[in-house]
Copies of this chain bind each other. A is one copy, B any other.
Amino acid sequence: MSTDSRTPAADSDLQRALDAVGDPVRRSILRQLADADPWTIACGQFDLPVAKSTLTHHFRSLVDAGLLEQRDEGNRRMNRLVRDEFDRRFPGLLDLVLDQ
């Protein structure tokens, strides 16, 4: 028999979601987003011990997973946590990250 008989697309989405949530820096980003109002935090305002370019890398990962939405406001790039759609696709996963 073949290795697995689930839909490959679904597992690919799940993989992306788990990867996004599996990094401690990204979890910290998610928590800081959850503690603030939408569109109130710019990329450079996160409290994180990594370089700017590293942050950009993590943002891309979160956007790809559907967890982060970004919007340019003049000079700065504002961020918003996307809870609804992600919760619908992966119930409980984001809560798990935010609760602990």
Please give the residue numbers on chain A whose beta carbons come within 8 Å of chain B beta carbons, in ascending order.
1-4, 6-7, 10-11, 13-15, 18-19, 21-22, 24-25, 27-28, 31, 47-49, 90-93, 95-97, 100
Q: Tell me if B24 and A22 are in contact (CB < 8 A).
A: no
Q: Tell me if A24 and B6 are in contact (CB < 8 A).
A: no
Task: Return chain B residues, CB-CB under 8 Å to A14.
Answer: 27, 96-97, 100
Q: Tell me if B28 and A18 are in contact (CB < 8 A).
A: no
- Knowing A92-B91, A93-B96 touch, does A31 contact B15 (C-beta < 8 A)? no
Chain B, Cβ-Cβ closest to A6: B100
- Knowing A1-B47, A22-B19, A92-B91 touch, does A100 contact B7 (C-beta < 8 A)? yes
